Amino acid sequence: MFKYTLLHNIKELTMNPSQVLAVFSKDKSEVKYKTIRHVAKGINLFNINLPQQIKEKLSLEQYIPKS
């Protein structure tokens, strides 16, 4: 069972929240969210232009896009 604690409401960090593109998680000791739990169908995270505030919180080192 996973427990999640968010420091920020993701809806407050985006301009127009309308669709969940991906879900990330991290351990308490980690600085960035790097564990990818879900990516919406047809989405390549490398091709998305995210606000700088969100980019700073994510790591795509382990991400491999589905073809």
Tens-digit pLDDT profile for residues 24-56: 999 999 999 999 999 999 999 999 998 899 999
Q: What pLDDT sits at residue 1?
A: 46
Q: What pLDDT sits at residue 61?
A: 93
Q: What pLDDT sits at residue 20?
A: 81
Mean pLDDT computed over every residue of the chain = 83
Helices in the chain by DSSP H: which ranges? 10-13, 52-55
Count of CB atoms situated within 10 Å of the CB of 24: 20
Q: Which residues contact 65 (CB under 8 A, 6 or more apart)?
A: 44, 45, 46
Q: What pLDDT sits at residue 21?
A: 87
Distance CA 21, CA 35 (A): 14
pTM of the model: 0.66
